[in-house]
Amino acid sequence: MALEQLDGEDFMLYRSFQIDVGIFRASSVDQDGNCSHEDEAVMLDSLAIAQAAHNSGGLVICQAKRLVPRGTINPKQVTVPGCLIDLVVEAPDPERQHRMTDGTFLDPVYISSASETELPRAPYSTRLAIGRRAIRFLHQGDVVNIGTGIPGDSVGPALSEAGLSDDVTLTVESGVYGGVPAGGVDFGITAHPRAIISHASQFDFYNGGGLDATFMGAGQIDEQGNVNVSRLGGRVIGAGGFIDITQSARLVCFCFMLAGKNQKFVPQVEHLTFSADQARKRHQQVRYVTEKAVFGLAPAGLELLEIAPGLDVTKLLAEVPFKISVS
């Protein structure tokens, strides 16, 4: 990593590195090594991994759900060309070793567009209440990203419940467009998606400023409005795509619960993953949505915008270890 100056501003330059081995999986692989992903809920970085490892002179390995004869895969369905692959390994027991998700071996709901069957209504929960409150900041036609945790579990079901799924386009960083996102360990896929593109192409879109809004979780929030999701309890867990996504979205909405075992509001975040100062400079709209109240990013810090019915403002603010202005 090096520090470079562009247009009078400092930027970090990350240099490329050698890739010795690239491993990915595919649904079908023909005798020439051409791959397709028809049974996969997402394509992720399969092509990018194969290209990067191949161009580095490394070994490219593909795990195949099944082997098929030459010419079986339509050229437009080939996701990774065979010339990039060195070794193909067929899964001996696909039901155990090549599952679509952690929870299912193969469910057509994750690879087929919307059907006439209405999706089941999500049961009420505190997490769903947060999702209901958060989607009020969206506008018709918005293109939206959702992160893992409360956003992934609640925003999609809240939109579906309100009959608004067709009014906005939900996306997940894995490359999925539309549908109702799966939560928990199956985060990254959706029921009845409209489109599935590669992970790398999705981030090209995000980094290019295509997002109207993103909904993210939060580990810590401090007096300035900074957010930490990357170092919690002294353990570095990393930021994933969080920084790329939150830097370019016009609206950044953090969804979290105040009532938990760990204090969310802290005098200073342990790790700076989202900079409130940079958000102010970019004129981003930033909201912090909880089960008890909604806060906004103001010029001097956080501002209380609304409170849940039946709660006392004074008692709520007493739970926060720093001063918050009241709208």
Chain segment 17-66, per-residue pLDDT in tens: 999 999 999 999 999 999 999 999 999 999 999 999 999 999 999 999 99
Give yes or no for residue 115 having a pLDDT over 60.
Answer: no
Between 69-73, 123-127, 221-225, 312-316, the lowest mean confidence (pLDDT) is in 123-127
Backbone φ, ψ for residue 141 (5° rounding):
90, -5
| pTM for the structure as a whole | 0.89
What's the pLDDT band for 119 if we cut at 50, 70, 90?
Answer: low
**38 labelled catalytic:** no
Give yes or no for residue 158 having a pLDDT over 70.
Answer: yes
- Output the average pLDDT for the chain: 93
Instruction: Give the residue extent of every domain in the chain.
Output: 21-94, 126-326
Q: Are strands 301-307 and 325-326 parallel, antiparallel or unpaired?
A: parallel
pLDDT at 116: 44
Percent of residues, the chain, with pLDDT higher than 90: 78
Q: According to DSSP H, which parts of the chain are helical?
A: 46-55, 94-97, 126-134, 150-161, 199-207, 242-248, 276-281, 313-318
Burial level of 167, CB count in 10 A (0-12/13-18/19+)? middle
Considering 9, 40, 118, 173, which one is annotated as catalytic? 173
Domain 126-326 belongs in CATH node 3.40.1080.10: yes
Most confident of 108-117, 154-163, 266-275: 266-275
Give yes or no for residue 117 having a pLDDT over 60.
Answer: no
Percent of residues, the chain, with pLDDT higher than 70: 98
